Amino acid sequence: MKILGIFRGFPGLGRVVSGVSLLETLRDEYGCAIKIISYLQGNRYLQKRGYTNLQEVVPMDYCSIGLLPTNKIGGYIHNTIKSFSPDVVVVDGEPLIIQSLRISYPNIKIVALLNPADVDNSQNDKEAMDYFNALYSLSDLAVVHGLRTITKVDYAYKKLISINTILRKEVMQLKHKKSMNIYCILGGGTVNVGHQFAASTIRIAELCQQAALQMEQYTMHIVCSSQNIYDAINENYSSPNIILHNNILNADEYYSNAGLIITRSGRNTLSELAYLGIPAVSIVTGDKYRCAEQQQNLCCLQTNHIRSISIDSNADTLVVLMKELLNTPSLAASKFNAGNYEAIKYILSV
């Protein structure tokens, strides 16, 4: 079987890491031939995993909701389909591409990977949700994965399943050991983002820098994921117990060696932390739409080793919470069941 993956590459990596994990498992354990298309931050992630000959986009290739099928990258996708002849195309975060594929290849099998908020979010405009659902429902199979189970969608899908979050393969193979290292993971969404998102990212890093000054016995690693955030933080101040990283680290570099993780409240990272049982401080930030999604993620976790604070909190509040979590007894890995193999079962059935 041949499978093509098309994964949105900005503003974060949530649309890329789960799709790549699925396709690599299908390649390594089921003998499928795979090809992956992403862009921007997504391509940086693929490069770190050894992928080459990646197609990059120009500004006219994409908009706020993803790739535009009528510009150069659209032509590249269509040429790839014609040359690779995939049996299935797996798409995450690209509603316009799903529509384009359905028009040009009415018989091709399309699987849409979706966040629960893609199909059900009361904080977004009803008309916008109707539009997204109309495009996503053109797929043959919609795999909704996350911390929240979708039981009802007010739109007709051919087939929709709701499962636990699809995790990175390397995360499921990790063994976590407590240490004197604290990692602040700022995420992959620090390039091609609005001023508010970049400012909140810097704010989280500054909070961690201030907290590190009060916790000299620990080493604070701040993973910036991009040069622009690294430069902004590096201009301020540092301490002997603060280490700045200007690129994306492999998961085993921090998860296997962390006493505590500080992160945003995204679906993927929270699911990984729940799976591994690592204590964490989750910082809720973003616009109304994203804050509502993050609060839903936290409510669905049902674990006391992941605690949240607001982006408006001060360093003293963060330090108190960090010390409380660091002093809790070691946790066994969670009973959180990843959705990977359930998703693969349904994809193969397509």
Span between the terminal Cα atoms of the chain, in Å: 11
* 2-163 and 172-326 agree in CATH topology: yes
Nearest to 99 by CA among 67, 63, 129: 67
Q: Are 211 and 175 in contact (CB under 8 A)?
A: no
Cis peptide before 11 (omega within 30 of 0): yes
**Looking at domain 2-163, does it have CATH number 1.10.645.10?**
no
Range list of β-strands (E), 87-172: 88-92, 109-114, 141-145, 160-163
Name every residue whose Cβ is closer than 8 Å to that of residue 71 and which is 6 or more positions away in sequence: 58, 60, 61
Q: Where are the domains of the chain?
A: 2-163, 172-326
State how far the Cα of 312 lies from the Cα of 203, in Å rounded to an integer.
9
**Looking at domain 172-326, does it have CATH number 3.40.50.2000?**
yes
Residuewise pLDDT in 10s, the chain (350 residues): 999 999 999 887 889 999 999 999 999 999 999 999 999 989 989 998 999 999 999 999 999 899 999 999 999 999 999 999 999 999 999 999 999 999 999 999 999 999 999 999 888 899 999 999 999 999 999 999 999 999 888 889 999 999 999 999 889 888 878 889 999 998 755 555 566 777 888 889 889 999 999 999 999 999 886 777 788 887 766 688 999 988 778 888 889 889 999 988 778 889 999 898 899 999 877 655 566 677 777 777 777 888 888 888 999 999 999 999 998 775 655 568 899 999 999 999 99
Q: Are 249 and 223 in contact (CB under 8 A)?
A: yes
